Amino acid sequence: MKVVLFCGGLGMRLREFSENTPKPMVPLGYRPMIWHIMRYYAHFGHKDFILCLGYKADMVKQYFMTYNECLSNDFVYSKGGRQVKLLNSDIDDWNITFVDTGLTSNIGQRLRAVQPFLEGEEMFLANYANGLTDLDLNQMISRFAATDAVGSFMAYQPQQSFHVVSLADDDRVNYISPIAKSGLWINAGYFVLRPEVFSYMAAGEELVEEPFQRLIQEGRLRAHRHAGFWTAMDTFKDKQTLDELCARGHAPWELWRTSTDPGQPLRLRAEALLRAVC
């Protein structure tokens, strides 16, 4: 199944890196964010990627054109470096299509730009490319395939410490609660879609704003609730948290290291992990 990754944004909230580095290329450990997301999908057997590029697209292309497998694999070094034998491989069987989808395009425009590369697909996967998870992707796909829905996304209950508030017109507080106990769910940016979604999209529209509203009206949009680990890397603090998880060897999204069975992701609650590094 093809995987569309939206990786052309400016990443303004990561300005410590994004002034010179596109957000997908911000390092997490010794690999960029986009590699971690692609490696997650590859773990489930989905290795045909379409990268929707924009800001500093040349840096994304250059990274893969000069990719060094020795950085994340075991190898034998001999003859003073004249001979290097890889003992395993990351991306040897990946297929990556690089598409410049515009500097200021929204998600809907980027998706429409790669529609020709999805011809013949019964379903495809898509991702905002800014969040990491231990989601059981096989389960999400199988549940979606059993419906007539056009789209599905991973829904997650945020665990941040701030509160949600409901206000009356005169500013009296009707309701206040920690967001983790509010019952609210967010779109975490992991999608399963059918190509029929394009018939719900008009030129210039954002994917979630208008097309998803049309799907909701027809009862053809689903959400897959996930109670395990998910977090986005939107700010420098988020990056520090994820770097710390990597350094401690507790990176729950690295299912390729923690499980030989893609159907058995690491069962670690996000809030427990985040508390451990705060």
Predicted confidence band at 263 (pLDDT cuts at 50, 70, 90)? very low
**Residue 277 scores a pLDDT above 60:** no
Secondary structure of residue 172 in the 3-state scheme: coil
**Topology of the domain covering 2-277:** Spore Coat Polysaccharide Biosynthesis Protein SpsA; Chain A (3.90.550)
- Average pLDDT across the chain, whole number: 86
Are 161 and 177 spatial neighbours (Cβ–Cβ below 8 Å)?
Answer: no
User: How do residues 238-256 score in pLDDT, each as one tens digit?
Assistant: 888 899 998 888 899 999 8
251 backbone dihedrals φ, ψ, rounded to 5°: -90, 95
**Residue 69 scores a pLDDT above 90:** no
d(CA 156, CA 228): 9
User: How do residues 90-126 score in pLDDT, each as one tens digit?
Assistant: 788 999 999 999 999 999 999 999 999 999 999 999 9
For the chain, the structural domain boundaries read 2-277
Are 155 and 107 spatial neighbours (Cβ–Cβ below 8 Å)?
Answer: no
pTM of the model: 0.85
Parallel, antiparallel or unpaired: strands 75-78 and 83-86: antiparallel
Are 12 and 232 spatial neighbours (Cβ–Cβ below 8 Å)?
Answer: no
Q: Which residue has the higher pLDDT, 15 or 214?
A: 214
User: How do residues 117-153 score in pLDDT, each as one tens digit?
Assistant: 999 999 999 999 999 999 999 999 999 999 999 999 9
Burial code (b: 16+ CB inside 10 Å, e: under 16) for 33-69 equals bbbbbbbbbbbbebbbbbbbbbbbbeebeebbeeeee
